[in-house]
With several copies, the nearest count.
Chain A
Amino acid sequence: MPFIPHTDTDVEQMLGAIGASSVEALFDEIPAALRCGRLDRVPERMTEMEITRLMHERADADGRPLNFIGAGAYEHHVPAAVWEIVTRGEFYSAYTPYQAEASQGTLQVIYEFQTMMCGLTGLDVSNASLYDGATALAEALLMAVRANRKSKSHRILMPRSVSPVYRQVVHAICAAQQLKLVELDYDPATGATPEAALAEHAGSDIAAVVIPHPNFFGCFEAVDSMTDWAHANGALAVAVVNPIALALTRAPGEWGEQGVDICCGEGQPLGSPLSSGGPYFGFMTCKQALVRQLPGRIVGRTLDMDGKPGFALTLQAREQHIRRGKATSNICTNQGLLVTAATIHMSILGPVGLQQVARASMANTRKLVAALTELPGIEPVFTGAGFHEAVLRFDQPVRPLVDALGERGVIGGYALEGVYPELTNCLLVCATETKTDADIDTYVQTLAALMRPASAA
């Protein structure tokens, strides 16, 4: 009986103590008609040896192709130490730190994490994580609507340069609470949101303006003027950022005159492997004044009975287990282990490490773009300076190329036309610090071989 320690003697003695004739008898409150039969579609058990082999085979089937997609999930080097520590039983198999005295390890990690996220984003308070970047944005907007004292509006200005998936998730989560997303188009030349797109909404009642940094195309927005515009128009400024970009660029807390009110984003680039899309974690920081509207857990430092400092969950009155239907969010379990990974990751990389990763990623994407656009039939789409992602337009359909590249071990990029119909034949490509010149060359050579017939055509 895998994972069950009971011997026959144990079972007998235990039933004796209970006064039950059999284990079956313990279920006698369940109406007989409801009792289920054999679970036919669950296969017979495998030993650990057998499942190990099966999983290796499945992993091998997918291989480790050369990846040039970003689009919200970035391949970065994660120091081996990170996951060797994260998966220690004491972190891995602990629960949410409800019993603070027996959970000082997890609690201190979160406190350190909060400090780091405040530092990176230039804001005052951080929570202990949300599910992922997309849901973090959804929660940030719900929070903005709750927190905005100048406006009761539920309208949100949402640039189309925000990840289309994020926009979908925000819609799925916030629509029932009547949030209205008003889209702002991007400038087809620069890829960024033009001032005019905002100006159009001047004077109308708006709860919040979303500012992506960098945006989905890898382009930088005019973060200062957008922040100021939001504040001038009674809206909160909500930044959605790639934390790696913050290593080189001004902190959202310092954008414009007053800084953004809320900053959120996908924490994956900070120590979470790509891992098919999760588990990652969403982060959120805000100004001190908004702390009571912040969703999710928060750890605070306090004192024990002897006056010694220690850590505990705090401001729990915001949360569902206390406030129930009136909580700031329904979130309960969050992404603790990934936060632990991020905290260790950021500690090991430090400021210099994070900056170097950011620089190398930017430089590599530049190189990739330069190399690919040397091929006939490939052009950059946007002129603005960007981070570690870029959009390229092909003179031919990109999906077949992506498929063909995939068969040759190159994951070539993300085809944009599904989500931006106007960007036909456009590919979003990315090269982080993990890519060498040889990798870029492999991509270019493989692609060149595939494109030739089409270009000739």
Chain B
Amino acid sequence: MTESLIFEHSRPGRSASAQYPAGDFDVDLPAGLERTSELGLPEVSELQAVRHFTRLSQLNFSIDTHFYPLGSCTMKYNPRACNRLAMLPEFLSRHPLAPVSASQGFLACMYDLQEILKDVTGMKGVSLTPMAGAQGEFAGVAMIRAYHDARGDTGRTEILVPDAAHGTNPATATMCGYVAREIPTDDNGDVDVEALKAALGPQTAGIMLTNPSTLGVFERRISEISKLVHEAGGLLYYDGANLNAILGKVRPGDMGFDVIHMNLHKTFSTPHGGGGPGSGAVGVSERLLPYMPIPVVGKANDDSFRWLDEDDLPQSIGRLSGFMGNAGVLLRAYVYARMLGRDGMHRVAEFAALNANYLMARLEQAGFDLAFPGRRASHEFIVTLKRQHKSVGVTATDVAKRLLDHGFHAPTVYFPLLVPECLLIEPTETESKEALDAFVDAMIAIAKEAEDDIEHLRGAPYTMPVRRLDDVRAARQLDVRYQPDDQAA
């Protein structure tokens, strides 16, 4: 099953005329400014568009159709109520610059959400404006910079980043004008504290950590690390993309972190949408409060809600979006948070950990190697195929592609980079035991196939709309837009 390009359905003169105003309008463009080339948009009927995109959608795996144990991505159930309620006509039609008098309903939701996020992270202030994790990181590191700058402490040029960190961490450090310096991981998956000590110094602006780390294990010496970094004059940044691991169990604020971003599109279950939108709300400790990105929602004396902007936070790192970030995503997160409630927050990490540890135990019993045997899984864990790669040549990609044929989305592969042939597996708390068991069965079958018929395995997937795709060709013979005289690639 494949679907031709929308442009191939196009015929000159066809249009969905219920969708735009008819008639001649009086417009006067400056001479010479008129459009001369085609717009390059397809000309199709409404039915053709509906059919095309409905069919395209069916070519996707998604949480709503498949178990999707993609590590570090928290593919859990996205309650449909969140979508429905965020899309009430009033919310959809509210202009971002509408006066606060016509915005109290919306602002109340945002204010409440800020309060909830403060509590679950143990931070003192929350700004909702960052539009994804990476922008939250940017906001966080920019606040660290603003903090040092405000104190005239301008010699700090480095941000420390564990080698296992997500790529956005070093990339963010760079965007904030810092040099990212890598700290190695020890054999148990913990930060190498000796190496950290060696790296710390007057040039240290801060460290970006996530705990549990992207290796899926809890950094047990966190208090010590926190002390070391603070003593060196640096601040601690918490990459809270994966708060699912600890929600209601331990709070970044209590671990000594100064700033955190959260991926609401993971922990707070807003949808991933095939690549976004996300939301990377940031929480800060007392000392970073003045630097939060604006706007933030505050309460006026009369208990009505109002925007806090540059007048209220003159030292803010400023604005990071045209308005206040991904408002509609925040509404979804808010609805989710209210449906979870206090006890539900505590349960998230409990059942995420239960599922991860169960799946880890079952896979280990089935003969798979864990990257960090003997450790607890957090909400995720790593299987390494290093041994099998050596013995029969199987790769993480082979297993990933074959899982698709078994009706499972693949785990994250080749991240973190330091574990060879790694599968980072995150089942999330919303999956049933049966789903996990079925996944184990598939993994066992694939391991057996690797032994018995590695060639067949390398040909996977067999049941998807396309067979394995040629990435090298994609990059070398770049074809990134349809041109009518194209032959099919």
Contacts and interface: CB of A to CB of B under 8 A. Distances in A.
Contact of B276 (A133, A249, A336): A336
Contacts of B187: none
Interface in A64-112: 64-65, 67, 69, 71-73, 75, 77, 79-81, 83-85, 87-106, 108-112
A453 interface: no
B370 interface: no
Given A26-B377, A291-B480, 8 more contacts: A6-B433, A26-B357, A34-B222, A61-B104, A93-B62, A277-B324, A324-B167, A349-B41
A3 B92 CA distance: 26
Given A275-B327, A277-B322, A350 B35 contact: no
Interface string B71-82: 001011111110
Contact of A351 (B39, B65, B249, B469): B39
B29 A385 contact: yes
Interface residues of B, number: 217
Interface residues of A, number: 210
Contacts of A203: none
A384 to B, nearest CB: 8
A90 B335 CA distance: 21
Contacts of A126: 480-481
Which of B34, B84, B104 neighbours the largest number of chain A CB atoms within 10 Å of its CB?
A: B84
15 contacts: A33-B223, A57-B105, A60-B105, A62-B102, A104-B59, A177-B175, A276-B106, A305-B470, A308-B467, A311-B469, A334-B275, A343-B53, A348-B46, A360-B20, A384-B30
Interface string A25-49: 0111111011110111111111111
Nearest to A255: B33
A170 to B, nearest CB: 10
A91 B466 contact: no
A249 B358 contact: no
A88 to B, nearest CB: 5
A75 B466 CA distance: 39
B464 A114 contact: no
A327 B170 CA distance: 9
Contacts of B103: 62, 276
B466 A308 contact: yes
Given A5-B431, A120-B39, A300-B480, A350 B83 contact: no
A236 interface: no
A105 B338 contact: no
Contacts of B482: 111-112, 115
B41 A42 contact: no
Contact of A67 (B19, B93, B431, B465): B93
B16 A176 contact: no
Nearest to B82: A80
Interface string B302-329: 0000000000000001111111111111
B198 interface: no
A404 to B, nearest CB: 10
B7 A56 contact: no
B108 interface: yes
B35 A246 contact: yes
Contact of A42 (B88, B172, B342, B477): B342
Nearest to A352: B15
Contacts of B376: 26-29
Contact of B48 (A5, A128, A349, A353): A5
Given A55-B335, A248-B27, A330-B134, A89 B62 contact: yes
Most buried by A among B101, B105, B173: B105
Contacts of A331: 132, 134-135
Contact of A277 (B36, B42, B85, B325): B325
Contact of A321 (B97, B167, B218): B167
B325 A101 contact: no
B404 A99 contact: yes
B327 to A, nearest CB: 4
Which of B58, B68, B131, B470 has the most chain A CB atoms closer than 10 A to its own CB? B131
B284 interface: no
Contact of B20 (A246, A308, A352): A352
Interface in B42-72: 42-50, 52-54, 56-66, 68, 70
A197 B7 CA distance: 43
Contact of A105 (B57, B293, B357, B401): B57
